[in-house]
Amino acid sequence: MKCVRLWARDPAMPMHDPTGGSILVVAGTHGNERHAPWLLQQWQTQPQALQRHGLEVQLVLGNAEAHRQNRRYIDRDLNRCFDPGLLEDPNAQALEVQRARELLKLYGPQGEQPALVVVDLHSTTAAMGNSLVVYGRRPADLALAAGLQQCLGLPVYLHEADQAQHGFLVECWPCGLVIEVGPVPQGVLQAAICRQTQLALEAVFAVLAAAASGQLCLPPELVVHRHLGSIDLPRHPDGTPAALLHPGLQGCDWQPLQPRDPVMVDGAGQVIALEAVLPPALAGRQRYWPLFINEAAYGEKGIAFSLTARECWALPAGAAAGLEQLAAQLRRC
Using the contact rule CB under 8 A, the part of the chain among 139-147, 204-212, 223-231, 291-299 near a second copy is 291-299
Window of 44-52, 79-87, 114-122, 324-332 that interacts with a second copy by CB under 8 A: 44-52
Q: Which helix (H) or strand (E) holds 137?
A: none
Contacts of 159 (CB under 8 A, 6+ apart): 133, 134, 135, 136, 165, 168, 227
Applying CB under 8 A, which part among 82-90, 91-99, 245-253, 308-316 lies near a second copy? Answer: 245-253
305-314 and 221-231: which strand pairing? antiparallel
Minimum distance between the CB of residue 176 and a second copy, rounded to whole angstroms?
27
Neighbours of 165 (CB within 10 A): 18
Q: Report the distance separating Cα 59 and Cα 41, nearest Å.
A: 9
Rounded Cα gap, residues 169 and 104, in angstroms? 10
**203 scored as a contact of a second copy (CB under 8 A):** no
**Amino acid present at 109:** P
Q: Which is nearer to a second copy, 52 or 138 (CB)?
A: 52
Interface segment toward a second copy; rule CB under 8 A; list 5-13, 110-118, 252-260, 293-301: 293-301
- Please give the Cα distance from 131 to 215 (Å, whole number): 24
How far is the C-alpha of 235 from the C-alpha of 283, rounded, in Å?
21
Should residue 139 be labelled a site residue for a second copy when binding is judged by CB under 8 A?
no
The pair phi, psi for residue 142, each rounded to 5°, is -65, -40
Q: How far is the CB of 199 from a second copy (least distance, A)?
A: 13
Q: Which one among 74, 87, 94, 265 touches a second copy, defined by CB under 8 A?
A: 265
Chosen residue from 27, 119, 274, 297 binding a second copy by CB under 8 A: 297
Closest CA to 289 of 307, 271, 268: 307
Judged by CB under 8 A, which of 8, 191, 281, 312 binds a second copy?
Answer: 191
Residue 184 in the binding site for a second copy (CB under 8 A): yes
Report the interface residues with a second copy, using CB under 8 A. Answer: 38, 41-42, 45-46, 49, 125, 183-192, 194-195, 240-241, 244-247, 250, 265, 267-268, 294, 296-297, 299
